[in-house]
Structure 1
């Protein structure tokens, strides 16, 4: 019995040239992302005001990023915003999904659209709207004044001008914006979970929390990783919301790395330091997204 010959490449046929199809995309990626990143790193090694000739500074700008209290505070504020932009929206979205999977919700499409609407509104418009809502005569303080008349303490204040509450006030705007994104991702993932798993859990007497922990959460691990990645990156690179609402105030209470890049470049003329802040922020974003991806992959393999 003779072995069958495997069909080979005909003589003169071109080799595999599939990589040529992705070459234009790689060129665009390199020109508009990699090259600016390399140039930004190169500028960060100089003391330069953006106009005159720069002087070599080595890694001194990065030492300033690590030792300057104001810059360290800006990175700390960014990590606090991760809680409001990523963790809180995901927790609230999980709660809503747990309720939706156990009950029949009428008008779910409209409900989902309304919650997702902040994602398609320009962040500048969102910032202006919430700046009015947080104002002295805005709806937030109006509701608090009404509660005060009913006997509760007077909690009204100038939210965006308060040293203690300005950063949480900005963070809550991010929670409102990112909740819809997390909810849409989780609802899409929940629709892929077989209904038999929920039926089996209910037959076994599982309550809402046990059902969520045993069925919903394991089935949404990948969606959770995507949601945490997108919302965390949004929190770390947040600029327009801070710039419009507080401009980093009061007294630097809401300054974040992206705002410091703008401030050091256009206000104080420290372009080299601004580039060092940007590169450090990029490294932080890469590390955080890689950690989230590794955590998701590890859990997926364990499952």
Structure 2
């Protein structure tokens, strides 16, 4: 029996809506349990003075106002801004340059292996990466050995123990990690461009820079937005590299907001302030994500 009539279409729409909700409900439940509840709990903790053991006392917004007067925390956000250059700006720029070169030889044999090797750091545990670079940066590590081998031994130093170079040294690890991710994203975008477009440009005498500016770069706008979103967020919320390599030292020269939150909660026993830092950091990450994604082509009217 076929159901027809003026009420059939609304019923079909309602049925599809319930079916869609049934598919979305598990993901929504996971989001609420593992993200929504902890975030709400952190927000609640941030309104109290609590050391994690004794009775908490109401703080209101005083934990947030205290953050405004915390010189160490302001410095840590400044360090995160420096890391954005190493984690996001440099990897995206270098990966775009490599993409411009590889887009001319996208069918070259061995390009797949090249992509895999560059992406390999992304699948290695961060603790392993950090521990490896601690050895590389050590006084007798690979970096100093290379400097001595080429006659630049006067520049050798304990990189992670130097007040000036410790933060850039950590940043360079982020650059090394980010290049592969960005390059894989950009090469996947280039592979979706019709090869006839490149061939026509080359027949017209377009050089590598003209080809990249006129064809490749506009086509990669979406991938650039994704790469910037991932790398900038990675820079702002970085913790593991700092914890394993320097623990915020020397003298607080490599502290970052996430490490400050850890220090407040587990070393200084100021859980309320640690939660306030976490809430502010979450808000900052959301704001940065929204700003970057405004450049996504899908948002164009």
What is the Cα deviation at residue 297 of structure 1? 3.7
Alpha-carbon spacing, 1:62–1:10, altered in 2? closer, same or farther (3 Å): closer
Q: Deviations over 1:8-39 (max 9, x none)?
A: 35989973312122112211211110111111
If the length of structure 1 is used for normalisation, what is the TM-score?
A: 0.92
- For structure 2, the residue ranges without an aligned partner over 5 or more in a row are none
If the length of structure 2 is used for normalisation, what is the TM-score?
A: 0.92
Alpha-carbon spacing, 1:166–1:15, altered in 2? closer, same or farther (3 Å): same
Alignment of 1:37-52 (within 5 A): 37-52=39-54
**Conserved 8 A contact 2:190-2:219:** yes
**Counterpart pick for 2:133 among 107, 130, 134:** 130
Q: Deviations over 1:105-151 (max 9, x none)?
A: 33111111111110110000000000000001111000011122xxx
2:186 matches 1:186: yes
Matches of 1:186 and 1:266, distance apart in 2 = 40
Match of 1:105 in 2: 108
2:33 matches 1:31: yes
- For structure 1, the residue ranges without an aligned partner over 5 or more in a row are none
Match of 1:86 in 2: 88
Match of 2:293 in 1: 293
Matches of 1:11 and 1:250, distance apart in 2 = 66
RMSD: 2.2
Alpha-carbon spacing, 1:52–1:12, altered in 2? closer, same or farther (3 Å): same
SS of the residue aligned with 2:155? coil
Alpha-carbon spacing, 1:11–1:89, altered in 2? closer, same or farther (3 Å): closer
SS of the residue aligned with 1:141? helix
Alpha-carbon spacing, 1:124–1:291, altered in 2? closer, same or farther (3 Å): same
Match of 2:66 in 1: 64
Matches of 1:133 and 1:12, distance apart in 2 = 63
2:170 matches 1:170: yes
Matches of 2:144 and 2:231, distance apart in 1 = 28
